[in-house]
Structure 1
Amino acid sequence: MTRHLNWHSAACTHGGKVRECNEDGYFNHSPAGLWAVADGLGGYQNGDLASRMVIEALSSLTDTEDTGPLSLYQRQLALHQVLERVNRHLGCEKTLHGSQAIGSTVAALLLSPQGNAVCLWAGDSRCYLLRRRRLYQITQDHSLVQKLIEQRRISRREAGSHPQRHVLTRAIGGAPELALETVELELERGDRLLLCTDGLYRELGEEQMVAGLCLDTPGAAVTHLATEVLRGPATDNLTALAVFVS
């Protein structure tokens, strides 16, 4: 018998304690099984524009009245095409305004009732999976320090204080051709997923993240995680989006 999974989700974002503008954004659409977080790059106006363009573009993927239900593969292809259009638009913005830096990270999640899921990302926003109280990092950062770690030139401990820890190797708007990475997952009842920007995960330890995701509802989870970050210096914008599968 074909299984049918359900899910609930919640999200929150906060500007942190230092920055005047929140350049993060999120897309939370449980009925469509589509979620995403984005972290804008390029300073106050550019970063806000870039992340907003990413999030607003995703709304075109939630209306299936004219096309009927789509397969997960078709939805993945449509998501990729939408993000490619945003990548081209951001390239035009650079040309028009002479900007040296305008772009956005993205971590997006697609889920089907059969439990098949796809995560797509560019940059250092992340997707985590909590399964039976064990936390797995699904995405791998597209960043300079991640490359240095892979080359064994620095340790993970050193990466947290590296002077170039914010330098990305991929982003939407970062190059003429968009390079997204993709991971396919098979989810189970009881799984809990977290999409988040670096302003959240850089400030929390694994135990804190697990404790938040073990709370009863996704709303309680994201509120707890954000509150934990805001107990500290919270020098960056922060966004958390939780999806609980049942």
Structure 2
Amino acid sequence: MSRRTGTVVAAVALWLAIVASTSTVAWIVIDRAGRGAYLTDGARPELTQAGPGTTTTDVTEGTVSATSSVPLSTSPPTSSAGGHPSTSRPARTTPSHSAPAPRSTVSSPAATRPRATPHPSPTPRPTPKPSASSPVRPQAVDDSVSVTGGSVGVSCRGTTLTLRFATPRNGWSYELSRSAAEIEVQFRRTGGEQESEVHARCSGGAPVFETDSSDGGSERAPGTATPDE
């Protein structure tokens, strides 16, 4: 029993030693990597201007940088009046920016053509239709008749009877009597007993006469139609 316990304790101790050593190595690696990154990020080399053809090294916190100087002028030195060589710096050239050429605008023929103004088409006027409420007046029909004592003329417009004239002969006189549907004219001879009568009425829109004379003579004129007034 004691052997088993000792074996377990030894195994646990060995496992703990392995874990501790592994953790230590990992922390050392992480620490060195962090320092290297800090040195790399923080090192800023300083440039030292030297004569032509020389190389300078600058060591800042473990970082070595090499820079080569650039000559200010590539032309050989010229001697001045005093005999000392002078170094001339090249003139700075300023880039010139030329203005862009203006674009020529060409108007299309379709844009310059005037638009044609449409002419309105004439509106046809409606033909007036006769009103259905206004009745059409019948045409007037004229007629006359002559008897011994004179002549009578009447006009019929539908059922409306109108006296146009009553003309007695010489030595005769007449009397007129009328109603809504008939006109009666009575001729009498002056100083005598001779007389004649005319009765007129409308039938079918035309005058109709009835005569009565003591001598039995009568003359009827043909009926004529007159234009509507």
TM-score class normalised by the smaller sequence: under 0.3
* TM-score, reference length from structure 2: 0.22
* TM-score, reference length from structure 1: 0.21
- Bigger fraction of residues in helix: 1
Give the structure, 1 or 2, with the largest relative contact order (CA under 8 Å, sep 6 or more): 1
**Which of 1 and 2 has greater Rg?**
2
